[in-house]
Structure 1
């Protein structure tokens, strides 16, 4: 079985207590059938520290972007484009809009989001989208900036079926995290059943949002297996089939051979 963690923050895991190093994290993941991880960047400064820590590995790919909650940190769009052009960088992001935690800089968030899509289209690399309490503005920007030309994914999906439909119509993939396993996630189960298998991705968003039965603990890529098992039940397919399809989806979106 080959599973992919399509969204994790390897540089944010607890290496003082829980893991020795990235190889230890990867070894735990492999034992659960998780053989590839996409390590997500949230600032340009963080990109350098993340890539230096992880190093060059066959089982880790990178994104490069500026999270909407990190706009106060140094960022230069020429530098973003330069870094995003690296061969080991397969996506822009994570980027997007977050009006839940910050709503006094909406114009800046929107401008930076648009620039990520511009660079994604120029480089033919997909965009990893973060969206919280910003549905209308995010969908408007995705449409206006023609996200379908480079593709993308709405990560850690927690919206409704109408939002899922709008994203699917724009050609985006939809990624589900450990939230799908939570007891109060009934509405999200409905969306998971609605999203076609060929547009579905799985992620941990580790170290956040650990799935049941690990809820309350630090999340890690190995726990994609728990999310996949739960999703397979929701979709009425075998775990092996779900792994096969979501891995193929990852390859198609991010233009990698898996």
Structure 2
């Protein structure tokens, strides 16, 4: 049994075959998933999917690329939705210095506001980090994000920062890049992260794992991620799938 902790099956790339995608996931052993809503359009769709499917949960938050678009009413809306019985996390939130749509200072402000929100509602946070590790860690420390903890989503950074994230009560989630032939950092991370602090995800439709790299990703492919981690850790696939699923249940406070 697998738990894909980060999917975007709520976006338009899945409009033509969403039910088939969910069925393929089930056939691959993916029993649970968290659908992430990250703006005004995707949040309602995440909730709709979670309400229709007993094994699907939702996260609600505001993506850093679109930080410049967030208004106070959006933050209030997210806080209201946090009480929904199928909402298990706030996010994804974070910093993205690759794209230049939102100024860095605006991104930081929106990140801090969402951490405050998560602490008020008592939910873990999902962190998006692209080319911003130093600032991410600094803000998480300053805001005492360890109080709620959460996920370093699709961790694709150096193994050097793993312990700092673990010390702040965060789980490390690995996705497709751990299977890429030329990706050394995720492989090293997979080897050193304790099994009880590890999660798996697809971030679909992005970052499809080998041998599907370059194609649309989907939740069924999280099995390829778990298999690669098992190979790197020199343990069984069952150990990885059981541990990561149990970790997700624990983090999201889901009764299996």
Using the size of structure 2 for normalisation, the TM-score is: 0.94
Alignment of 1:1-258 (within 5 A): 2-12=1-11, 14-15=13-14, 19=17, 21=18, 23-52=19-48, 55-75=51-71, 76=73, 77-102=75-100, 105-258=103-256
Deviation at 1:51, TM superposition (A): 2.7
User: 1:171, CA displacement in angstroms?
Assistant: 1.2
Q: Please identify, of 103-112 and 184-193, the stretch whose mean Cα deviation from structure 2 is larger.
A: 103-112
Residues 44 and 80 of structure 1 are in contact (CA less than 8 Å); yes or no, is this contact kept in structure 2? no
Structure 1 distance, partners of 2:54, 2:67, is: 31
What is the alpha-carbon root mean square deviation over aligned residues? 1.6
What is the number of residues matched between the two proteins? Answer: 254
Counterpart secondary structure, 2:69: coil
Per the TM alignment, residue 16 of structure 1 is displaced from its structure 2 partner at its CA by: 5.4
Any stretches of 5+ residues in structure 1 without a counterpart? none
Contact map agreement 2:175 2:200 (CA 8 A) in 1: yes
1:53, 1:3 → 2: CA distance? 18
**Aligned counterparts of 2:70 and 2:101: Cα–Cα separation in 1:** 20
Q: Quick one: distance in 1 between partners of 2:120 and 2:15?
A: 40
Shift, 1:103, TM fit: 7.7
1:157 is paired with a residue whose SS is coil
Q: How far apart are 1:102 and its partner, in Å?
A: 2.4
Q: 1:203 to 1:104 in 2, by over 3 A?
A: closer
TM-aligned CA deviation for residue 13 of structure 1: 5.6
Aligned equivalents of 2:56, 2:123: Cα separation in 1: 17
Question: Closer, same or farther in 2 for the Cα pair 1:213/1:68, shift >3 Å?
Answer: same
**Gapped regions of structure 2 (runs ≥ 5):** none
- Change beyond 3 A, Cα 1:124–1:16: closer
**Relative to structure 2, which stretch is displaced further, 238-247 or 97-106?**
97-106
Q: CA deviation at 1:46?
A: 2.2
Determine the C-alpha separation between the residues in 2 that align with 1:24 and 1:56: 15
CA contact (8 A) 1:160 1:187 kept: yes
Structure 2 SS opposite 1:11: coil
TM-score of the two chains, using structure 1 as the length reference: 0.93
**Which is worse superposed, 59-68 or 158-167?**
158-167
Query: More displaced, 44-53 or 30-39?
Result: 44-53
- How far off is 1:15 after superposition? 3.7
Give the Cα separation in 2 of the matches to 1:188 and 1:25.
Answer: 26
- What secondary structure sits across from 2:77 in the alignment? helix
